[in-house]
Amino acid sequence: MSEQNLRIAQLYPVELGVTGDRGNVSALQARWERSSDGRTTEHVAVGRGDELPDDADIIVIGNGPLSAMRLVADDLRARSARLESLVAGGAPLLAVGGGAELLSEGVAPLEGERLQGLGLFPFRVSRTHERRVGYVVADASHGRLVGFEDHASEWTLSDDAEVYGTVTAGSGSFALGSGRGETVRRGAAYASNVQGPALPLNPQLTNTLLAAAAERRGLDFAPGAGAAELDRLADGAREAIISRAGKVFNSIGL
């Protein structure tokens, strides 16, 4: 059993889990379990002070307010070397919102002290007065990345940062040429501001993460017929989003 069992570690689900981040874990679980008979998953919640299992196959970290980021920052920094070796070794990771920002070089908030990041991804974050709220669509190497953005952050990428998506609707997280970009990639690790949550809405990315995890284990991964209903509903959701994208929701300027 254990050979076919996928362990998904979610960091700080209580503190950094306010935007449906559990859904990214659910998408990985559903697609792995439905890819072949006998495949199982384990969702490992890693809170402050908890051990990150040595054999975690995929790491997920979600979004939360600045106070939550400050609350977990020391604990996360203590895992810096471990996470660096995992990502450098090609382990799949998805970080969203506040979680992604903590894995950057650092966050400059509008008020209070700068938050030192882990430097796992080569970008810096400035919190902004303006909020970016609405659907976001970006062209990416695995297909269109779609979802919802809701952040007041501007990312500044280092020269060596690998851009994942070119924004075609919505605001995105950083400047890209004369346009905008969304999501930074490093190997099989992704730092993103795409909510929705991202993985249920983006089977192409979920499959990519699962394939990377399978490969590290010497297994094959193909979504197969078991994913048909997930794909059909995701297609419907993506179509509806794409047809409405570009319409940016008003945020009340508070």
**CA–CA distance, 128 with 141 (Å, rounded to integer):** 29
Find the shortest distance in angstroms from Cβ 32 to other proteins.
13
Instruction: Pick between residue 23 and residue 117 the one whose CB is nearest to other proteins.
Output: 23
Find the shortest distance in angstroms from Cβ 197 to other proteins.
5
Q: Dihedral (C-alpha) 210, 214, 216, 217: value to the nearest 10 degrees?
A: 150
Identify the DSSP state of 226: G
Instruction: Pick between residue 58 and residue 163 the one whose CB is nearest to other proteins.
Output: 58
83: three-class secondary structure by DSSP: helix
Instruction: Pick between residue 15 and residue 57 the one whose CB is nearest to other proteins.
Output: 15
- Residue 20, CA atoms < 13 Å, CB-side half-sphere: 17
H-helix segments, the chain:
22-33, 66-77, 80-88, 98-102, 198-201, 203-217, 228-244
Tokens of 18: 């306010």
Instruction: Pick between residue 161 and residue 227 the one whose CB is nearest to other proteins.
Output: 227
Sign (positive or negative) of CA dihedral 13, 16, 18, 20: negative
Find the shortest distance in angstroms from Cβ 218 to other proteins.
28
Find the shortest distance in angstroms from Cβ 19 to other proteins.
4
**CA–CA distance, 18 with 38 (Å, rounded to integer):** 32
Which amino acid, 25?
Answer: V
The CA-to-CA distance between both ends of the chain, in Å, stands at 52
Instruction: Pick between residue 97 and residue 165 the one whose CB is nearest to other proteins.
Output: 97
Instruction: Pick between residue 87 and residue 196 the one whose CB is nearest to other proteins.
Output: 196
Find the shortest distance in angstroms from Cβ 17 to other proteins.
7
Find the shortest distance in angstroms from Cβ 159 to other proteins.
31
219: three-class secondary structure by DSSP: coil
Chain residues in the site for other proteins (CB under 8 A):
14-15, 17-23, 26-27, 30, 64-68, 71, 131, 133-134, 148, 150, 152, 195-197, 200-201, 229-230, 233-237, 239-241, 244, 249, 251-252, 254
